[in-house]
Each structure stands twice: as C-alpha cells, then as structure tokens.
Amino acid sequence: MNQKIIGGVMPAFITPFTKDGKIMESSVKELIDFHLEGGLDGLYVGGSTGEGMIMTPDERKKIAEITVKHVAGRAPVIVHVGAPDTKTACDLAAHAKKIGADGISSVPPYYYKLSKESIKEFYTAVANAAQLPFLIYNIPMLTGVSIGSEFMIEMMGIENIIGLKFTDTNLEEFRKIKEYNNGEIKAFIGYDAMLLSALFVGADGGIGSYYNIMPKAFAGVYDNYKSGNYEVARDIQWEIDRYIMIIKKYLSPSNQPAIKSILKEIGIDCGTVMPPIRPLSDLVEKDMIADLKKEGFFEFVK
C-alpha cells in the first residue's frame, strides 16, 4: 500500500456553495492554492467542516473529484466518506480510490446506537471498499460515539486502517492511542486550540477547521515544533487560540458561516452554507470582522 499520509497539518476543508447550493469550483481551486502556498501539508475533504453530512453522495463525490484533480499530486488528499449506512460509505470509499485520493476517513455510523461489533464491521467494509490508507474520525461531540484507546487499538487489526483524526480534548486517551506499538498509529489532533499540546504528547499532526483561515499560523506551529523552536511555536499557538476565542463569540453555532465570512474578507469568496446551517446575519458578520480587525487578525494571517 502506497502510504503518503505521514504527518503534518491539514485543513478540514471548507466547501464553497452558491446560494442555490452549487459547489463553487473556482473557489475550491483558489482555496486549495491558498492552503498549499500557506504551508499546509495536505487536505481533508468532505468532513464535518466541509458540510459532508448534509451533502448528497453525488455532491460529496464532486468536491472530492475537484480537489484531487486540482491538487494534482502536490499534497495528500484524504476524503471523508462517513455515513450512517454502510452502503453509502462503501460507495464513497470506492469512489475515492477510483479518482486517485491518497486516503480516506470516516466517522463511525451514527444516529442508531450500535455495538462495537457493528462499528467494527462497518469499518472493515469501508476499508475493504477503498483499499487506501484509512483514518478513523473520532468526534464524539457530534456522533455520540467515542473511539477510546482500547477500541482503536483493536481496530488497528483491520487492513488499511493506519490511525485516526481525534477531535476530543482527552489528551490522556490520545496519548494511550499514540503510544501503541511504539507509535505505530498515525494520530492527528482535531481540536485546533490543542495542536501544540498534542504534538508534545506524540501527535503526528493536526486536521482542523480554523486552518482554513490561518494556514501559515498552523504551519508555523508545526514547523517550529519539529525544528525545536518550542517558544516560537507556543507564541503562535497562543495567538491562534486568542483569535479562535474571538471568532467563537459569533458562531451560529456552527463554525462554517464564520469561516466563510472571514475568507471573504481575506479575499476568497466561498459563498454560503448548506441548509439547515444558517449564514451569519449581516450585522453579526460586520461585528465579527470589526472585532478581528481591531485585534490585528488580518495582519496576523498575511
């Protein structure tokens, strides 16, 4: 198996939509270039931040196709294929393989309460459908399913599963997962404000929402950490965290509307969000942008 997913920092890629729900292909390409030129190491497409769970399978395939084609081998592309049913997830996984994605990822099946045996069968089927490096996506706050260290280690026995995206604040569980078999599991932190903390306990990198608007900053945390410039990495992380706290005051409560508004101010029009997510009101957007300008955000992200 050709393994390109080694480590680094990747955006949980935003999906740009027109008001009538069409994917904005030109904006997708512009955003990809913004991320790669900003020093990010790959792309994670169609996940929670990308509104994948409220897109049709055909829409999910389209954003994956546009991304893989435009990246053209410059960086790894991981396609999120998770769904509440095995058939859809397997179909998306097979499509990711067909279009040349470098890896897949999936939340556990959600809505119904399932046994560990059922979840393991789901992941086995999806892994077999793709035959690609596979990151499990642990985000219990949204799925209601927590992939703990013991279960994650058990699932490493499934062919092609190489690790996980861990969107949880329990760094003790994260450490237990990462230390398995001398660090064999590829573990990416999904909480943006904890990137540096996770790197210190063994993370291979991070995948997150706010990377979309601060690519250079997140690359700076990672690169300075890897170079041993720990105080520089800390100072950048503190600034990232400060701006995240400002933005969180304006969430709706989803973060996609705020991120798209900020990208528009930066100069990349990513349109609007997919219902039932609602965009920011004009007043809230104006107040958020003014707050960020006052605090020097747009100079920070240049």
- pLDDT 10s digit of each residue in the chain, 302 long? 557 888 999 999 999 999 999 999 999 999 999 999 999 999 999 999 999 999 999 999 999 999 999 999 999 999 999 999 999 999 999 999 999 999 999 999 999 999 999 999 999 999 999 999 999 999 999 999 999 999 999 999 999 999 999 999 999 999 999 999 889 999 999 999 999 999 999 999 999 999 999 999 999 999 999 999 999 999 999 999 999 999 999 998 999 999 999 999 999 999 999 999 999 999 999 999 999 999 999 999 99
**Distance of alpha carbon 295 from alpha carbon 297, whole angstroms:** 6
Structure tokens that stand for 281 in this block: 């009101």
Single pTM value for the model: 0.97
Q: Is 123 in the active site?
A: no
**Distance of alpha carbon 178 from alpha carbon 171, whole angstroms:** 10
How many CA atoms, within 13 angstroms, populate the side-chain half-sphere of residue 185? Answer: 30
Catalytic residue among 137, 210, 225, 250: 137
**Res 4: pLDDT:** 86
Q: Is residue 280 part of a domain?
A: no
**Res 1: pLDDT:** 52
**CATH number where 111 lies:** 3.20.20.70
Q: Is residue 25 part of a domain?
A: yes
**Distance of alpha carbon 9 from alpha carbon 118, whole angstroms:** 31
**Res 181: pLDDT:** 87
**Res 224: pLDDT:** 98
Q: Structural domain of residue 192, as residue ranges?
A: 8-233
Q: Is residue 17 part of a domain?
A: yes
Number of domains in the chain: 1
Q: Is residue 33 part of a domain?
A: yes
Q: Is residue 299 part of a domain?
A: no
> What is the enclosing helix (H) or strand (E) of 26?
helix 25-37
Q: Is residue 290 part of a domain?
A: no
**Res 2: pLDDT:** 54
Do residues 203 and 178 touch, judged by C-beta distance below 8 A? yes
Strands 134-138 and 205-208, by their bridges, are unpaired
Q: Is residue 219 part of a domain?
A: yes
Q: Is 137 in the active site?
A: yes
Catalytic residue among 61, 62, 165, 216: 165
Tokens 């279009």 — which residue? 99
Q: Is residue 47 part of a domain?
A: yes
**Distance of alpha carbon 272 from alpha carbon 286, whole angstroms:** 16
Q: How would DSSP label each residue in 104-134?
A: EEEPPP-SS---HHHHHHHHHHHHHHH-S-E
The helices-and-strands tally (H runs, E runs) of the chain is 13, 8
Sign for the CA dihedral angle at 54, 55, 61, 66 comes to negative
